[in-house]
Amino acid sequence: MFIFGVILADSETLPNRPLDKIRNLQWWYKVPWNTLLIFVAVSYGSNFDRGCQYKEDDVCDYWRYVTIGSHIDKQIGMYLAGLAVVLLALTSEVTSCVLGSGIIQFFGKISYMFYLVHELILQWP
């Protein structure tokens, strides 16, 4: 996922930015595009398969539908969700404003610190 982010960030420094084609769309084209990206991010990026009522084969019905009969691997789905969030942040003004807000920036700054020390806090006692 880091490599995708680097590629997209580098493409933003080019004179002809490729994502400007999406940014400059009329709003009636942007609404379905953003809806699709939100659907992909929520469907593949969340743990819907854990919260469902399990059947005898341990696969949730919702997860089976969004992965087209379990043909899309869970790891690929997580990559698609991450890529959808990055594309949504780069092409949607509303999403970039939300992600640029103070509270999200604050949690972004402290989350890495918690990632580094959580194992120490959990294992120490």
Give yes or no: residues 75 and 31 share one domain.
Answer: yes
Cα 6 to chain center, whole Å? 15
Give yes or no: residues 46 and 74 share one domain.
Answer: yes
pTM of structure:
0.68
* Domain limits for position 116: 101-125
Per the structure, the count of domains in the chain is: 2
User: Is 38 domain-assigned?
Assistant: yes
User: Is 96 domain-assigned?
Assistant: no
Give yes or no: residues 25 and 76 share one domain.
Answer: yes
Give yes or no: residues 59 and 20 share one domain.
Answer: yes
pLDDT at 57: 54
Q: How far apart are CA 66 and CA 44, in angstroms?
A: 8
Q: What is the mean pLDDT of the chain?
A: 80
- Asked whether residue 50 carries a pLDDT value surpassing 60, the answer given is no
